[in-house]
């Protein structure tokens, strides 16, 4: 007899979401009635845009000539050699980076922002709002708004404004208004609350450009679709470089957009293992981390059901990470679903491990990574030496670290 408590894997891992915007039990549209008609309008507009070849052509033109796609696939030879030194004989996988840090604006965020801004224009919206944690999504949104001459307001937790000063200044240079949010712990969660509140009051003319694969349907699916350009390119590039698919993919997870973008085109290739790396902050044994999948349980926040850091009474807990971009108590619904199905393995990397990886990558590869992918790199450093030499490990280097040098300097006790 079939064990009904066991989750039966679907025929395809790429079939979600369903008509209600659900990935299994996750996702959905848990928003106040005031927003509901607008959410339905966004969904309708996105469905129409997806089928419009002109929409796709315009987005791809921007990716090529404005963003600089495709981003290179880089064989990180010195990193590979370094990790082989500490490995057993015959061990030490070949490490590749998908270099989305080379995108215009310095991270993967711009991929989905341009798609969404084109959508907003189709919908006749004349104002753009966004939330931001590390500031990468805010910078990307401010950039696209400058390009399309749209007024832009970015909500950013006051704590993050403090620790990401370079990006705050960038957004202002680009003509955006940055609104510091002081409620709660004044980080990404609170910025998203405030953006949603602002949106409710300005539904007529405003489009909310969400930065990650979370929020009410259709945002998780839409942001994933745009970010999937990362995985689609990587797949073709790996075929060309190695004549086969990689054995493992590694990506950092806050809300989960860069990971979803890399993973999605590989989900139905069972030979490709996938590892999402959450921020373990000061350690998973402490209260100070952002490991929603490992330490949270399903709940509803920001319009969707997802794994959520919360107390026994359903009050949302504050996340912690050295990386502002991972400092979020939830994780996108598709990741929540892939976690329950076991298709993707989710692990944690601490602040200290990320700091070490940040420095190692700078010295060995001449690439200063953002603190977010430095978490993914920490897992690569752990995992590659356990894998065979013939195996290939591909990591999404989703952002560059210019914005983080002040934070890192402070942690290393360096006066700047």
User: Using the rule CB under 8 A, is 299 a contact of other proteins?
Assistant: yes
Q: In the set 11, 51, 89, 204, which binds other proteins (CB under 8 A)?
A: 204
User: Using the rule CB under 8 A, is 87 a contact of other proteins?
Assistant: no
User: Using the rule CB under 8 A, is 33 a contact of other proteins?
Assistant: yes
Which CB sits closer to other proteins, 197 or 343?
Answer: 197
Alpha carbon distance 126, 108 (integer Å): 24
Provide the minimum distance between the beta carbon of 47 and other proteins in the complex, in angstroms, as a whole number.
Answer: 16
Provide the minimum distance between the beta carbon of 21 and other proteins in the complex, in angstroms, as a whole number.
Answer: 9
Provide the minimum distance between the beta carbon of 38 and other proteins in the complex, in angstroms, as a whole number.
Answer: 7
Strands 94-98 and 392-396: parallel
Provide the minimum distance between the beta carbon of 28 and other proteins in the complex, in angstroms, as a whole number.
Answer: 6
- Per CB under 8 A, the segment of 32-40, 171-179, 251-259, 355-363 that binds other proteins is 32-40
Alpha carbon distance 49, 266 (integer Å): 24
Q: In the set 23, 26, 29, 370, which binds other proteins (CB under 8 A)?
A: 29
6-25 positions binding other proteins, by CB under 8 A = 20
- Which residue in this structure is represented by tokens 């600089």? 68
Q: In the set 316, 322, 355, 392, which binds other proteins (CB under 8 A)?
A: 316
Q: In the set 201, 270, 342, 413, which binds other proteins (CB under 8 A)?
A: 201
Q: Is 141:113 a contact under the CB 8 Å cutoff?
A: yes
In angstroms, the Cα distances linking 28 to 22, 223, 332 are: 5, 15, 11
55-84 positions binding other proteins, by CB under 8 A = none
Q: In the set 87, 123, 158, 203, which binds other proteins (CB under 8 A)?
A: 203
DSSP string computed for 77-128: HHHHHHHHHTSPTTB-PEEEEE-GGGSTTSBTHHHHHHHHHHHHHHTT--EE
Alpha carbon distance 400, 370 (integer Å): 4
User: Using the rule CB under 8 A, is 312 a contact of other proteins?
Assistant: yes
Q: Which two tokens stand for residue 24?
A: 């299994």
Q: In the set 124, 315, 366, 413, which binds other proteins (CB under 8 A)?
A: 315
Q: In the set 16, 92, 254, 303, which binds other proteins (CB under 8 A)?
A: 303
Work out the burial of residue 54: count CB atoms within 10 Å of its CB; fewer than 13 is exposed, 13-18 middle, 19 or more buried. Answer: exposed
Provide the minimum distance between the beta carbon of 359 and other proteins in the complex, in angstroms, as a whole number.
Answer: 36
CA angle 223, 258, 35 (to 5 degrees): 30
User: Using the rule CB under 8 A, is 319 a contact of other proteins?
Assistant: no
- Per CB under 8 A, the segment of 69-77, 298-306, 364-372, 392-400 that binds other proteins is 298-306
Cross-strand bridge partners of residue 253: 278
CA angle 267, 99, 93 (to 5 degrees): 65
Q: In the set 7, 15, 34, 60, which binds other proteins (CB under 8 A)?
A: 34
Provide the minimum distance between the beta carbon of 386 and other proteins in the complex, in angstroms, as a whole number.
Answer: 38
In angstroms, the Cα distances linking 30 to 20, 27, 295 are: 11, 9, 23
User: Using the rule CB under 8 A, is 35 a contact of other proteins?
Assistant: yes
- Per CB under 8 A, the segment of 235-243, 313-321, 354-362, 398-406 that binds other proteins is 313-321
126-185 positions binding other proteins, by CB under 8 A = 183-184
Q: In the set 258, 310, 336, 396, which binds other proteins (CB under 8 A)?
A: 310
Task: Tell me the residue ranges of DSSP E strands in 331-379.
Answer: 345-350
Helices 371-383 and 351-365, interaxial angle, to 10°? 90
Which CB sits closer to other proteins, 216 or 401?
Answer: 216
DSSP string computed for 171-200: HHHTT-EEEEE-STTSSHHHHHHHHHHHHH
Q: Which residues bind other proteins (CB under 8 A)?
A: 20, 28-38, 183-184, 189, 193, 196-197, 200-204, 298-303, 308, 310, 312-316
């Amino acid at each position: 007899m079939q064990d009904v408590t066991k989750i039966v894997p679907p025929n395809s891992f790429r079939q979600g979401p369903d008509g209600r915007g659900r990935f299994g039990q996750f996702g959905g549209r848990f928003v106040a009635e005031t927003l509901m008609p607008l959410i339905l309008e966004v969904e309708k507009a996105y469905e129409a845009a997806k089928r419009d070849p002109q929409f796709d052509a315009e987005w791809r033109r921007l990716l090529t000539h404005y963003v600089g796609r495709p981003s290179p696939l880089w064989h990180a030879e010195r990193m590979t050699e370094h990790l082989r030194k500490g490995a057993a004989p015959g061990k030490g996988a070949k490490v590749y980076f998908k270099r989305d840090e080379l995108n215009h604006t310095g991270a993967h965020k711009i991929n989905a922002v341009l798609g969404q801004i084109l959508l907003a224009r189709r919908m006749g919206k004349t104002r753009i709002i966004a939330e931001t944690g590390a500031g990468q999504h805010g910078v990307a949104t401010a950039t696209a708004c400058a390009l399309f001459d749209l007024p832009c307001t970015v909500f950013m937790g006051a704590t993050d404004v403090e620790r990401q000063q370079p990006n705050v200044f960038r957004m202002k240079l680009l003509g955006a208004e940055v609104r510091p949010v002081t409620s709660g712990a004044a980080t990404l969660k609170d910025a998203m609350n405030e953006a949603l509140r602002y949106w409710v009051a300005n539904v007529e003319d405003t489009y909310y450009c969400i930065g990650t694969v979370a929020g009410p349907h259709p945002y998780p699916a839409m942001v994933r679709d745009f970010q999937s350009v990362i995985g689609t390119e990587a797949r073709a590039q790996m075929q060309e470089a190695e004549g086969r698919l990689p054995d493992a993919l590694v990506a950092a997870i806050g809300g989960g957009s860069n990971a979803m973008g890399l993973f999605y085109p590989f989900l139905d290739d069972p030979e490709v293992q996938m590892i999402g790396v959450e921020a373990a902050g000061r350690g998973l044994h402490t209260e100070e981390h952002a490991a929603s999948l490992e330490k949270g349980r399903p709940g509803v926040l920001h319009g969707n059901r997802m794994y959520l850091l919360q107390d026994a009474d359903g009050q949302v807990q504050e996340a912690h990470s050295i990386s502002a971009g991972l400092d979020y108590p939830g994780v996108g619904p598709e990741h929540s679903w892939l976690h329950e199905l076991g298709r993707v393995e989710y692990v944690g990397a601490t602040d200290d491990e990320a700091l070490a990886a940040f420095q190692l990558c700078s010295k060995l590869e001449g690439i200063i990574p953002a603190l977010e992918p430095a978490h993914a790199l920490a897992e690569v450093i752990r995992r590659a030496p356990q894998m065979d030499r013939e195996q290939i490990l591909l990591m999404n280097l989703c952002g560059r670290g210019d914005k983080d040098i002040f934070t890192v300097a402070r942690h290393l006790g360096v006066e700047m």
